A and B are shown apart, each in its own frame.
Chain A
Amino acid sequence: MAKYKTEVSLQGEFTTIDVFLEGIEIPLREVNDNDYYKLYNEFEIINPLNINVRLKGWVGMKWKIIIKVEDKAAYTKSGVFDNKGFVTFTATKMI
């Protein structure tokens, strides 16, 4: 078990944002329009990194999530909301 500097950024506009890393919800603040962002300097990761994302938004809205570990992009995923306005996925990533 090691501690890594982990950064999460989420782009888009959402009515619900649930981003979990290793089972812990990441608080994301809107720092600019379409850009939610949070930086953890020390975050414990038990390989592989578990990612759980659940988003609600508006049809046609682009979304993108970028997870950086030690300043390197570890995971990136993007898409566009359909009429359901709902996206959920889980992923694992070896660090």
Chain B
Amino acid sequence: MGLPLTTPTADPPGGQARVRSPWAVARAAVAAPFTRREGRELLFCLAGLPFLLVNPLALFVLAVDLSWLVAGNGRDNPSPADIAIACICVGLLLVLLVSTGAARKLGSLQRLLASRLLRIRVAPLPAARRSPGGRAWPGPGPRDAAGWRVMAYLLAKLPVGLIELYAVFFWIGGLVNLSYPLWWGAFRNHPPTARLSPVPVFTPFGWFGEGTFHVATLPGTFAAAAAGAAMLLAAPWVTRGVTSADAWLIKGLLGPGRLAQRVRDLELSRALAVDDSAALLRRLERNLHDGAQIRLATLAMNLGMAREKLGDGGEVPDAAAARELIDAALRGAKDTLVELRSLARGIHPPVLDNGLADALASLVADSAIPVELKASIPVRPTPAIETIAYFCAAELLANAAKHSFANKIAIRAAGQRDVLLLSVADDGTGGADPARGTGLSGLAQRVAVVDGGLTIASPPGGPTKITVELPLRA
């Protein structure tokens, strides 16, 4: 969800660099292979294997080989015609994968793996728009840009996936090397005169230990074990590096593009704006129906009854009752006026026409808790922004008065270049949470409609500071 609601954490990662002792660094390096995170990353590397097979390049090689086998029984090198046919086959296959949505499915599978194992959250792809003119394709069609981006990811996955397998090799090779001294004695109980063929040791530079490093004696196996330990120590960092690269690709290619994300955010905020205005009208109707309308009906009824008590002329049959009814009608008229005034003010406070600073000043004057107001708004925002800012301030002020047990509230409104910053701070008990109650999240929604943002800093125990950022123009 694209709501700009942020809660700053106390200790941002990458904030102040914490000074660590060399000992702690060494301990972290040694412990790194055995953390859960490493396990998940290793699993992610392994899980990438199927994606290497369902891959445009792998498919191409497979197609060339197949056509080569079929056409020439594998005797000659593949002819240019074979390669051309293979190219066409693979091309058609790719179009098919994208247009039926199979690519999207592969992408969402990969996204699922990434979210489970790498803990990165990538928004799902925007729904494919059907091409006008009915369903020519069983899926999103060949012009599905998001599908092609998934395809690009699958292409890029080939080298990345191979490096991921290389990272897996670090773990396996390291473990095998480490175990050499253990099984040496079990299998090498040879007569002393026997000549031993050397055993290859896995290293990062020789895939299967060929040609790099062989051992033929028991002390040699300890060297192999040392090499294994070194590989195991290095393995987490290799894994981390390559999975980070993969994560970067996933974020860039498997999520919605920036434009699509923007469209989603706008769709969301438009829906919120429409809902909000519908809810506002409903509330207004309800207030009129249950308030002013029924008060006026009661007033009219009282006047009607009073008229009856006054009679048609001459003697007044029941003057006392008439007086009482007229008094009630008068009270009703006054109450109705008060109610209508507060209703009108709730729709649009007239003082807002003089500018936000004046409106905030009149808002503050009504507060039961002392409020210190500082407003400097050199460039006047548009009326819509002023209205949103005013109602945000009113609601935040009411919240502070109701929930915070504060002794003092400070409101700041500052116009900076093209942004209006409004903050309401109190010295109360804190613990304001948008998840509880609808007030703060409702505000965030209203602010989001104009691309604004709401930041809440309210640790338990206080103080609370809530900042609303709005563009000057909407």
A, B bound: no
Residues of chain B at the chain A interface (Cβ within 8 Å): none
Residues of chain A at the chain B interface (Cβ within 8 Å): none
